[in-house]
Amino acid sequence: MVSHRLTGEVNALKCLQKAHLIRTKQQDNVKREKAAMQVMDHQFIVQLRGTLSDSNQVYLLLEFLSGGELWSLLYENKESGLGGGPWGGMELNTCMHFAAMCVSAFEHIHSKKYCYRDLKPENLLLGGDGYLKLADFGFAKKLPYTDVNTGKSEDRTFTLCGTPEYMAPEIVLSRGHDSGVDFWACGILIYEMLCGTTPFEAGSQQETFERIVYSQRYLRFPLGFDPHAKSLIRKLLESNSALRLGALRGGVEDVKEHLFFSATQLDWEALKRREIKMEYVPQERERAGDGVGGAGESSSFEGEGVVEEYEAGEDGDTFWDF
């Protein structure tokens, strides 16, 4: 967390060591993250305010959100957070609003011809007003894209990426995937928000993958589960990507018009204008002792000790244009 020396405006500074990125072969992912975030402009997506580079690190200057991760509020801060729902997770109406924000963000991301591919509670941040924003575009992929080997335009990608419990069957089976995997992940998220666990969680990754591939066999709901939520989750967790809600002719409008949202007459435009009062509003954090100086003071943040020295290769600094 950093503050502007003159205005005092607080932002989040994501610091990445060049040497570590090179060693773990993540340099292309970081460049793709930058490229994706530069074209995003939406109420429910974290804003990229700028990028920087020095001799050893690259930086992403991001909008700061004071409410923390959705994951922490679901699992670590249940007493003061979002627990207490009837099925082990949050209340139905709160879940509905959060899911609507994700759907709205995906509508924008897909309109920019990107596939997000990394939805999970850790990548959803809350602002002080209780609204969510999607963060971390490290796995975002431009679709269609040009294959560097063949020069052909491809509308599906085969990369195995994401969080195992959120992966769609076509990712697990390496059959090629498109933006439809985001709607599958949205179904997983709604289930986790309401139940406090993911639907295909297992003792090992291999067993989790098996349950995902045979999802209709393993998908179970708690007794008395909301019928509209159950219907939406089943349609989003359709193993055949061509039949999945969101991937049909109606596109994202099919999702937005589902009874899970429409039964309460959710006003999508009012939601985007942030005119709906959220049921849960995080308490403002105390600024004292948070390491952020006032106007005119040096910005500071917690680091990991000594920065690993970066040595440019024969072609120079890989991140020269960051």
Note the pTM of the prediction, 2 decimals.
0.90
Q: Please, is 229 exposed, middle or buried when counting C-beta atoms within 10 Å of its C-beta (0-12, 13-18, 19+)?
A: buried
Start and end residues for every CATH 3.30.200.20 domain found in the chain: 1-66+285-322
Name beta bridge partners: 11.
2, 63
How does the average pLDDT of the chain come out, rounded?
90
In this predicted structure, what is the pLDDT of residue 218? 97
Token output for 290:
């948070």
pLDDT tens, 189-247?
999 999 999 999 999 999 999 999 999 999 999 999 999 999 999 999 999 999 999 99
Nearest to 287 by CA among 60, 66, 33: 66
Nearest to 104 by CA among 41, 166, 171, 178: 41
In this predicted structure, what is the pLDDT of residue 80? 64
Name beta bridge partners: 2.
11
In this predicted structure, what is the pLDDT of residue 49? 95
Per mean pLDDT, which range of 76-80, 120-124, 300-304 is the poorest?
300-304
CATH code, residues 69-272 = 1.10.510.10
296 pLDDT tier (thresholds 50, 70, 90): very low
Residue with tokens 């060591």: 17
pLDDT tens, 181-205?
999 999 999 999 999 999 999 999 9
CATH superfamily of this structure's domain 1-66+285-322: Phosphorylase Kinase; domain 1 (3.30.200.20)
Nearest to 251 by CA among 38, 107, 89, 43: 107
pLDDT > 90 in the chain, percent: 76
The residue-averaged pLDDT of 157-185 equals 95
Q: From the candidates 28, 41, 54, 118, which is the catalytic residue?
A: 118
CA distances from 82 to 65, 90, 91, 116 (A): 17, 5, 8, 25
121 pLDDT tier (thresholds 50, 70, 90): very high
The residue-averaged pLDDT of 247-258 equals 96
305 pLDDT tier (thresholds 50, 70, 90): low
268 pLDDT tier (thresholds 50, 70, 90): very high
Q: How far apart are CA 50 and CA 30, in angstroms?
A: 14
> What element of type H or E holds 43?
none
What secondary structure letter does DSSP report for 177?
A: B
Whether 321 shows a pLDDT value over 90: the answer reads: no
Whether 159 shows a pLDDT value over 80: the answer reads: yes
Q: How far apart are CA 285 and CA 51, in angstroms?
A: 26
How many other C-beta atoms are found inside a 10 Å radius of the C-beta of residue 263? 12
In this predicted structure, what is the pLDDT of residue 288? 34
Whether 169 shows a pLDDT value over 80: the answer reads: yes
Start and end residues for every CATH 1.10.510.10 domain found in the chain: 69-272
In this predicted structure, what is the pLDDT of residue 304? 54
Whether 164 shows a pLDDT value over 80: the answer reads: yes
Active site residue 118: yes
Q: How far apart are CA 121 and CA 134, in angstroms?
A: 9
CA distances from 290 to 6, 9, 181, 285, 293 (A): 18, 14, 38, 9, 9
Name beta bridge partners: 114.
142
